[in-house]
Copies of this chain bind each other. A is one copy, B any other.
Amino acid sequence: MDLKTFFNPASIAIIGVSENPKKVGYLVAENLIRQGYKGEIYFINPKFDKLFDRPVYKDIKDIKKPIDLVVLAVPADAAMHLLDDLKTIDIHNIVLYAAGFKEAGVDGAVKEQNLVMKAKQYDMTILGPNCIGYVSTISNANVTFLKNASPKGNVGFISQSGALGSLMVDYLVGHENFGFSYFMSLGNKATIDECDLLEFLRDDPDTKVIGMYLEDVKRGEDFKRILEETTKIKPVIILKSGSTVEGSKAAGSHTGSMVGDDMVYTTAFDQYGGIRAGQFFEFMSMLKICSFGRAPTSKDILILSNAGGIGVLLTDELIKNKLELVTVPEDVKETIKRNMGGDKVTIHNPIDLLGDASAFQYRQAIAATIQQKHIGGVIVMLTPQANT
């Protein structure tokens, strides 16, 4: 599946734009402009003529120009009818937000079957339904109804939950140099699924690390193959919910997906090079470390702090997580001692630079240790003290 045009379209039409700032049809239009999208933008709604100082078309058929992507900000039934219209004007790429499909009981499941059939018949590629769209910071196409514009970065994030995307953006905003290349919300995966997106990000030069939030995997064998190919090139961090039976059940009723035995996932991720995060903050930390190219080179860790107590607590955590405290070589000890201006200081890992350590002393200590080949990583902790 070639998704280049889908995720970096030269033109986008939004059907169902709204004047009400609470509605999805307003929020998407606003995000697209706010993110700085440079392609052609077409708004469609028969009820009014202008939005954000741009013309609003009564009907998509009035546009009569090529449209690379159509965003449907309308309810499920209206969307189903629109597909027939869109076919007649040769539209192939669609983002569908509407809920009320597979996740909503038997009626919804039937509706989703019809959707899948139509998509095949009309040769349409659909993101969703029951999704919140996507952001490309490459083309600045932001067709989500997230609260903020997305910071640009090298993390590609595929999410089976829209809200996780919202959490991520909130978290990323305010972090320097940490942001998305792409954020893609999977929804019910009527046509585009996690395999297609992983494949796309595998080949994307702007994506340095891939994060996936998954509740299930649709095509197991394809997924394994693509995961293996991808992890040879860049790290893939996976947060999969449903690691307990109860969680699986909750996931099932939430996006209408079938969830398998969790051990099968753990084994497959492991075997094909994916890294499974235990929970959300671990997921975020691993993405950050990979995004910055700061993954430790071995298990031998050095701790630098300005307070004994937190160094001790971190030591406990490291050991519980199967990392090790590296022994500080004599010459490095001497350097740090000299910089701290005291012969009386005893240097051992965790290194306590003492409460009055200055930024300069921290810098010296980092410089003295981080280049050492047998030190796999340096963790720097700072408790702000009044005389810091």
Contacts and interface: CB of A to CB of B under 8 A. Distances in A.
B246 A319 contact: yes
Kindly report how many copies of this chain are found in the complex they form together: 2
Contact of A254 (B280, B352, B386): B352
B386 A312 contact: no
A242 B383 contact: no
B242 A316 contact: yes
B147 A310 contact: no
A388 to B, nearest CB: 8
A3 to B, nearest CB: 23
Contact of A344 (B22, B105, B310): B105
Interface in A305-332: 306-313, 315-320, 325
Interface string A271-315: 000000001100000000000000000000000001111111101
A138 interface: no
Interface stretch (A4-12, A164-172, A197-205, A226-234): A164-172
Given A250-B312, A253-B346, A384-B170, A162 B307 contact: yes
A75 to B, nearest CB: 12
Interface in A225-281: 239, 241-247, 250-251, 253-255, 279-280
A170 B385 CA distance: 10
Interface string A122-163: 000000000000000000000001110000000000011111
Given A147-B384, A166-B384, A241 B313 contact: yes
Interface string A17-47: 0000011100100000000000000000000
A146 B383 CA distance: 11
A166 B350 CA distance: 19
A146 B319 CA distance: 30
A254 B309 contact: yes
A104 B384 CA distance: 23
B104 A316 contact: no
Contacts of A350: 250
A319 B279 contact: no
Interface string A89-105: 00000000000100011
B104 A163 contact: no
A317 B100 CA distance: 28
A57 interface: no
Contacts of A167: 310, 383
Contacts of A355: 162-163
Contacts of A112: none
B346 A241 contact: no
24 contacts: A22-B356, A27-B387, A105-B344, A159-B309, A161-B308, A161-B310, A161-B312, A162-B307, A163-B309, A163-B310, A163-B355, A170-B384, A215-B312, A241-B315, A244-B319, A245-B319, A246-B316, A246-B318, A246-B319, A247-B312, A250-B311, A250-B315, A254-B311, A279-B317
